[in-house]
Amino acid sequence: MSQLDYLVTGAQGQLGRAVTAAIAQRGRRAFGVDVEEMPLEERGRILSTLLTHRPRWIVHCGAITNVDGCEQDPLAAHRVNGLATAWIAEAAGKIDAGLVYVSTDFVFDGSQAGTPYAVDAAPRPLSIYGSSKRLGEEAVLGRERDDHYVVRTSWVYGPGGRNFPRAILDRARAGQPLKVVTDQVGSPTLTLDLAEALLDLCDSGAPGGIYHATNSGHCSWHEFARAVLRAADLGDVEVATQLAADLARPAQRPAWSVLDNSKLDAALGRSMPTYTDAIARYLAAESILLASAAADPGVPGNQSGTLRGKEYK
């Protein structure tokens, strides 16, 4: 059999689902793994899985993404998000695979408000999650390979995922009050657009290193909520404002985490779609998914469906 094109980690997560679907859409072969097939705590399982499947590319989306939860268990966060990435990079070296590591705006402290973060801006994570992802970045960059990419993104959401727009819409439709933060600004990013950018980067032959990939434009969480509601014809729903400090969450988040996509734009010869355009496509995709899930329990987005250990072609 010909070589597997991609192995996708975190294939059950919101980005992993979009990446495996986009690969299949392109007529390429992907194998998706998640907690059960390749637990990221276990170096042995990572090496044996990758040496068995020997993909041309590894798209590493798997991570502990519960930012507040990471504060309670820093060891697990650093092992799964950081060390596991080093083990994946080690395996990539053994099988000569390219590697795309999805990282985060939370490697920055948010102190340069008003200026998007360039790829070479100095990281200074405020949280355990951010420092664990930075550890993963260093492991990938340390390999100095031309086909190894660290792709930082932000505020990720997509069809079938548990995410901010879903929560806002659910609360609004249930008539529950909405109160959203005004003093954190970033770029919401649709999984479908990010997946295309990750795959295009693999195909681009662009030099290895750090790239930033978010939908273009930026907003506060409050503005994002308003934009989602407007797009869903719920623009009359009231959204109260609050400050991040009022929430007293365990993990500190950057107040400004807008990323400068220009290096990615140059590599791909195009810019990322705007976040407002992405919201409209999210709502369309989400309604199709929900309708399909109601009719077929095997469809992603239905909790009884499964994507684990599955080959996509």
Ligand X SMILES: NC(=O)c1ccc[n+]([C@@H]2O[C@H](COP(=O)([O-])OP(=O)(O)OC[C@H]3O[C@@H](n4cnc5c(N)ncnc54)[C@H](OP(=O)(O)O)[C@@H]3O)[C@@H](O)[C@H]2O)c1
Q: Shortest Cβ distance from residue 238 to ligand X (Å)?
A: 25
CB closer to ligand X, 133 vs 166: 133
Write the DSSP string, 99-167: EEEEEEGGGS-S-STTSPBPTTSPP--SSHHHHHHHHHHHHHHTT--TTEEEEEE-SEE-TTS--HHHH
CB closer to ligand X, 133 vs 263: 133
Cβ contact 254:103 at 8 Å: no
* Best CA proximity match to 190, nearest among 281, 101, 83: 281
Place of tokens 């000569």: 96
Active site residue 117: no
- Residue 95 burial (CB count, 10 A): 17
Q: Shortest Cβ distance from residue 126 to ligand X (Å)?
A: 14
CB closer to ligand X, 81 vs 237: 81
CB closer to ligand X, 62 vs 273: 62
Q: Shortest Cβ distance from residue 72 to ligand X (Å)?
A: 15
**Of 129, 149, 211, 275, which one is the catalytic site residue?**
129
How far apart CA 114 and CA 116 sit, in angstroms, is 7
How far apart CA 209 and CA 204 sit, in angstroms, is 13
Cβ neighbours for 26, distance < 8 A, ≥ 6 positions apart: 199
Residue number closest to ligand X, CB atom: 13
Take residue 147 and report the two structure tokens written for it: 């086909």
Q: At what angle do helices 84-95 and 43-53 cross, to 10 degrees?
A: 30
Residues in the site for ligand X, rule: CB under 6 A?
10, 12-16, 34-35, 39-41, 61-65, 80, 102, 104, 133, 153-156, 161
**What's 209-277 look like in SS3?**
EEEECCCECCEEHHHHHHHHHHHCCCCCCCCEEECHHHHCCCCCCCCECCECCHHHHHHHCCCCCEHHH
CB closer to ligand X, 20 vs 237: 20
Q: Shortest Cβ distance from residue 189 to ligand X (Å)?
A: 7
Torsion of CA 221, 227, 233, 238, to 10 degrees: 50
CB closer to ligand X, 117 vs 155: 155
Q: Shortest Cβ distance from residue 1 to ligand X (Å)?
A: 25
Q: Shortest Cβ distance from residue 178 to ligand X (Å)?
A: 19
Active site residues: 129
